[in-house]
């Protein structure tokens, strides 16, 4: 039977409104734990249908229930009674009939007689159709379990079809239920012990394309078991790059010898998305929005996953696929999922502090290893009083501590130009003094003016022509001095540029801030650099004097300070006015670089994260007056700027980067590491997709 033909047709995903989570590759699922009565299918089916209705109201397209939920798990030898089996069959017919008016795929647990045996089954039902039946593969028969006394295992089945509740349906543990109207949504069914064995059926299902792995469980509770289940499910989802839905039996199961906690879990790629209340005496329903495209993106990039598929090709190609058209809501469906504003910066303070310490150690390890390898004991670094050079200077100072060398071996120079403000210059000197490095100053204005004269540039004669040449002459002079200082002192030039600037091409190519002997910030985005400095203050890494100047640097406008202005007390040239807010561009960078999402999806996620400053979590180090919000039109504008710069105009700079350590799973832009791209690519495909699929409101 072609099951896709009997499921009513709905909207295509691309026809859904921009505000629908399903248009952007998400899917809402539910895990239900109803009350049960032992060996009372008539009662149990009413509880099941009632909870299914709640799942429909919540907008879930897939709802799962516990193992043997229609009969109860603890019926023991009553499973072999005709009366109970007849009542279960009637209950299943009730579920199938009720499903006609329930816009969700239901997966219920029930015993099923077939081929003269009794199987412990998961039954998938949608809109009046039994889609398929999956028997349990591994029957525990140890400690408190005696399932082989009542049931046969999946391997004992002689046929791949079953008649159940008046329907003829596919039967076996090899069924993959593939959504025909939602890309990357394929689910597989296993039962309790199946998920605990060394090579679970769901593992092979994942290799065959299943992204949503479902486990109908009973699983009595003993001390420590809930934690083990949680670990098992989250690690299972991580190993198989999948979602894992788990529903365990709860209130009402027999407590003759066992107890039940009704644990409900929804996991995705190692993350716990939702968990129900254990030991509840009322029905439980949890929901979560699965990110299917995240799973697909990770599988696409993880080549060893594909290699594993090849190694099990014969088994995987034999698996059967059942088409199902999901009952996707036709109107707007808001995303109910936390999307962090700062994907590179955890909002939780404890996790953030661990992350900052880890990044700091990676940077120090990279620089110290390079110095050992070269036999050099000194570094040269330009210090501007801005964020990037501050973090690089901190790393250089800590590297000397690690190597047992004096911090005086850090030769730090501030190099004021035509637009250097008194604030940044003062902060640079205060920081160098507080960190006890060797401080110097070289005024680059005379040499920069000479180069402008050599070029015949009008600014050499006082004209206010502040073009790119004018800016890059200053940037080039600074870097040229640093390299010659390194030659003079037998030192290594430490680069300061960060990941955000490299993504946007916001650096001067060649003899400019693009180049160094070794860089320490090249895979650290601007937003994370701010938190690394804030972490250094918060954890008092360098004492109160350094903490005071670091706090001042954090409050300074991000600026290249290359265009003169009348007020020299503080920077007036804003980087973010040209390339966009770094906090927003770092968001775009993460999802483009880490997952390769289409621009419309990035815009959708950005709006969800940034449209309301009062919603969601903020890192505690962000002051209230700096908690910004961006509407969709603003996001679309700056995303277009990002795409043009990232894809089309800046790759040639990234293709010739100096060495630098990779810091985070968000990626780096090294041509020898995470990112290899042509320097002459066009951004038209990205910009067209953005314009076509993202509204201007």
At 28, list the tokens.
């809402």
Annotated catalytic, 356? no
Annotated active-site residue in 67, 477, 561, 583? 67
Annotated catalytic, 507? no
Q: Where are the alpha helices (DSSP H) in 406-467?
A: 422-434, 445-455
CB-based contact 245:64 (threshold 8 Å): yes
What is the rounded radius of gyration, in angstroms, for the C-alpha atoms of the chain? 31
Rounded Cα distance between 16 and 669, Å, is 35
Rounded Cα distance between 356 and 527, Å, is 12
Q: Give the CA-trace dihedral at 451, 454, 458, 463, to 10 degrees.
A: 50
Q: Is 137 helix (H, G, I), strand (E, B) or coil?
A: coil
Helix axes 684-693, 632-643, angle to 10 degrees: 170
Annotated catalytic, 9? no
Strands 167-170 and 284-291, by their bridges, are unpaired
At 315, list the tokens.
């088994």
Full strand arrangement of the beta sheet holding 212-216 = 271-275, 264-268, 243-247, 212-216, 186-191, 175-179, 320-324
What's the angle, vertex CA 622, arms to CA 621 and CA 627, rounded to 5? 165
Annotated active-site residue in 121, 192, 267, 507? 192
Query: How does DSSP assign 305-330, residue by residue?
Result: HHHHHHHTHHHHHT-EEEEE-----S
What's the angle, vertex CA 124, arms to CA 50 and CA 64, rounded to 5? 50
Q: Where are the alpha helices (DSSP H) in 216-255?
A: 225-239
Annotated active-site residue in 126, 136, 190, 561? 136
Is the Cα dihedral 361, 364, 370, 372 positive or negative? negative
DSSP structure class, residue 281: S
User: Which residues are within 8 A (CB) of 439 and not within 5 positions of it... i.e. 6 or more apart?
Assistant: 412, 413, 414, 429, 432, 433
**Residues labelled as active-site residues:** 67, 136, 192
């Amino acid at each position: 039977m072609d099951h896709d033909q009997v499921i009513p047709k709905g909207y295509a995903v691309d026809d859904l409104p921009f505000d629908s989570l399903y248009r952007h590759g998400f899917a809402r699922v539910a895990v239900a734990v109803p009350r049960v009565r032992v060996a009372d299918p008539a009662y149990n089916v009413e509880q099941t249908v009632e909870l299914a209705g709640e799942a429909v109201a919540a907008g879930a397209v897939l709802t799962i229930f516990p193992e043997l939920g229609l009969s109860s798990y603890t019926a023991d030898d009553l499973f072999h009674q005709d009366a109970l089996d007849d009542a279960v069959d009637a209950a299943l017919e009730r579920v199938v009939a009720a499903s006609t008016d329930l816009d969700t795929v239901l997966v219920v647990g029930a015993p099923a007689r077939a081929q003269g045996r009794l199987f412990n089954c998961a039954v998938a039902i949608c809109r009046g159709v039994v889609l398929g039946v999956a028997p349990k593969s591994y029957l525990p028969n140890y400690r408190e379990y005696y399932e082989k006394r009542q049931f046969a295992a999946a391997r004992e089945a002689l046929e791949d079809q079953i008649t159940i509740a008046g329907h003829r349906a596919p039967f076996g543990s090899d069924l993959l239920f593939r959504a025909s109207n939602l890309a990357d949504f394929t689910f597989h069914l296993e039962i309790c012990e199946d998920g605990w064995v060394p090579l679970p059926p769901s593992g092979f299902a994942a290799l065959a394309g299943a992204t949503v792995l479902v486990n109908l469980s009973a699983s009595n509770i003993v001390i420590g078991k809930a934690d083990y289940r949680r670990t098992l499910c989250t690690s299972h989802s991580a190993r198989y790059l999948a979602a894992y839905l788990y529903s365990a039996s709860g209130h009402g199961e027999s407590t003759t010898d066992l107890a039940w906690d009704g644990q409900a879990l929804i996991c995705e790629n190692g993350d716990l998305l939702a968990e129900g209340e254990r030991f509840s005496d009322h029905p439980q329903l949890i929901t979560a929005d699965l990110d299917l495209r995240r799973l697909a993106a990770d599988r696409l990039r993880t080549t060893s996953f594909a290699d594993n598929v090849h190694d099990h090709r014969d088994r995987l190609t034999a698996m059967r696929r059942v088409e199902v058209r999901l009952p996707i809501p036709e109107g707007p469906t808001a995303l109910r999922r936390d999307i962090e504003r700062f994907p590179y910066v955890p909002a939780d303070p404890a996790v953030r502090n661990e992350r900052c310490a880890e990044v700091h150690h990676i940077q120090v390890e990279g620089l110290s290893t390079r110095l050992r390898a070269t036999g050099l004991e000194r570094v040269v670094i330009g210090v501007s009083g801005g964020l990037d050079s501050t973090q690089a200077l901190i790393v250089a100072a800590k590297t000397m501590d690690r190597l047992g060398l004096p911090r005086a071996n850090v030769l730090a120079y501030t190099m004021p130009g035509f637009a250097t403000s008194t604030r940044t210059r003062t902060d640079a000197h205060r920081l160098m003094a507080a960190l006890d490095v060797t401080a110097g100053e070289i005024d680059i204005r005379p040499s920069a003016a000479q180069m402008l004269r050599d070029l015949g540039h009008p600014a050499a004669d006082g004209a206010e022509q502040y073009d790119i040449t004018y800016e890059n002459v200053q940037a080039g002079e600074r870097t040229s001095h640093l390299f010659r200082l390194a030659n003079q002192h037998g030192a290594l030039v430490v680069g300061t540029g960060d990941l955000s600037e490299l993504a946007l091409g916001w650096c001067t190519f060649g003899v400019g801030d693009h180049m160094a002997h070794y860089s320490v910030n090249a895979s650290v985005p601007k937003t994370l650099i701010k938190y690394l400095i804030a972490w250094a203050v918060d954890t008092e890494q360098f004492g109160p004097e350094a903490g005071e100047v670091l706090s001042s640097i954090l409050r300074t406008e991000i600026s290249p300070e290359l265009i003169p202005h009348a007020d020299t007390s503080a920077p007036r040239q804003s980087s973010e006015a040209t390339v966009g807010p770094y906090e927003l561009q770092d968001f775009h960078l993460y999802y483009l670089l880490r997952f390769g999402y289409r621009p419309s999806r990035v815009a959708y996620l950005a709006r969800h994260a940034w449209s309301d400053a009062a919603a969601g979590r903020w890192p505690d180090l962000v002051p209230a007056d700096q908690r910004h919000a961006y509407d969709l039109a603003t996001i679309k504008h700056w995303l277009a700027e990002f795409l043009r710069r990232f894809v089309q105009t800046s790759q040639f700079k990234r293709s010739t980067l100096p060495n630098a350590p990779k810091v985070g799973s968000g990626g780096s832009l090294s041509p020898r590491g995470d990112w290899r791209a042509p320097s002459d690519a066009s951004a038209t495909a990205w910009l067209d997709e953005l314009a076509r699929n993202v509204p201007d409101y």
